[in-house]
Structure 1
């Protein structure tokens, strides 16, 4: 028994040491990523549910480390939130996404908005609205060409504080989207208290409605209530014709997912728009 106890203690000590080592290694890797600009952005098209034409995009961060290879945002974003690097990372994302909007403008774009994700920490940071305003002015991009996405879970941690800071962003003129709705614990009635313009329904909604009728009824009710509140509805994670059909049947306004396109690197996204025959772009201009 004593030997078993010693083995367990040794095992847990090794696990703790491994976690500490991994934490320090991720700290170092993130420092290198910021210093040597190892991050990049992809853009996933957002599609009008009626015309099936792109009407905007979501900027998604990607990280390829020379030493570790591709590192998923699910791995490094939570770590960056813990050690504080998230503020610098998300300010970088805002700048690069807005700069790309300027590039599209120079090509003749009529202003398809780009969605930018920010964390709860960035939301309540007093510098975030100032940084956003400065970057918009720097690249001469209109606030109406930018949407800020904040997750449901980040908002419900402190509704009062979240509303206060969301109002600051709204005053700039950007639209605000509530992302991953359905994954947290907020109620439908709380939607009316949030200064938001768009609700993005989590992929799990569509997955479930293709499997059982009760989930389908909930989906219909959620979309209907959002519309009653004057909110646009985005169906996320649409991957099959069945999911697309359900999203269209219940009048989701915007579709996003692999059915239409995976996230694309900047040049590939430009080519995608070109292939889609997006009107208003002069591809010969620089």
Structure 2
């Protein structure tokens, strides 16, 4: 099977009996879960959309295994990524936090295609408009996978940025989410991989502090990922990090149709 025509993606999205949208691709069902991202004042600044891939036999496929595996055909990665993005937008529109930021994980190669394929970009913009979401709310998270060409990736982010999309480097400090990529993209947000937090907590602060300095130098905000304890949160707040995300704060859930109690810190 080749890449699905962008105009046919909507035909693979269905509204379930419990009021959520899912995507169907081959023998897989694609569902959305969302994890809040908290501002320094512990208010919710936005939701990160995460795909959950369910095999029709009932088993689950880990998204990281699916997207990182060399055994997964490239066109399957592109199809699932594009389809899940449209599913996430629909489900986000049902959320209590639909006026906040929507963080979407994107493959670098898919970004290049999205910028080059006028129809793909139009379908994305049309879907956002249809469900009442502004492109300015959308933060595209470039995941830590190699691009075909880093220079082309840079140009593609510039092209798409003209439509109002913001950019984030996901899992900074791991694999292709490097200082070099970050300085090319000049993202609005740098999301620090949890490994930097763990190293900091264990008395090895250099990588995390260097990332903070990089963000300040290029004018990016920072999200610390993987906060799983109160101590980790306290350490990051002492550093005046902009935003926080992790299981200690909130677990991923299908759709937040009701407000989450504001976290307090004192």
Q: TM-score, normalised by structure 1?
A: 0.74
Structure 1 partner of 2:46: 56
Deviation at 1:52, TM superposition (A): 1.4
Which of 57, 64, 67 matches 1:67? Answer: 57
**Aligned CA-pair RMSD:** 2.5
SS of residue matched to 1:147:
strand
- Spell out, residue by residue over 1:194-230, the C-alpha distance to the aligned partner (whole angstroms, 9 max, x if none): 1421100000000111112xx3133123212202321
In terms of fraction of residues, the more helix-rich structure is 1
* Aligned-partner Cα distance in 2 for 1:120–1:132: 16
Deviation at 1:239, TM superposition (A): 0.6
SS of residue matched to 1:84:
helix
1:228-267 aligned within 5 A = 228-266=217-255
* CA 1:253–1:150: 2 relative to 1, 3 Å: same
Q: TM-score, normalised by structure 2?
A: 0.79
Structure 1 partner of 2:9: none
SS of residue matched to 2:129:
helix
1:1-286 aligned within 5 A = 33-34=24-25, 38-49=29-40, 51-78=41-68, 82-104=73-95, 111-125=99-113, 126-127=116-117, 128-155=120-147, 158-184=149-175, 188=179, 191-212=182-203, 215-266=204-255, 269-271=256-258, 273-276=259-262
> Which range is displaced more, 168-177 or 215-224?
215-224
Gaps of 5+ in 2: 1-22
SS of residue matched to 2:168:
strand
Contact kept, 8 Å, 2:92 with 2:102, in 1: the verdict is: yes
SS of residue matched to 2:213:
helix
Q: What number of residue pairs does the alignment pair up?
A: 236
> Which range is displaced more, 224-233 or 88-97?
88-97
In terms of fraction of residues, the more strand-rich structure is 2
Gaps of 5+ in 1: 1-31, 278-286
Bigger radius of gyration? 1
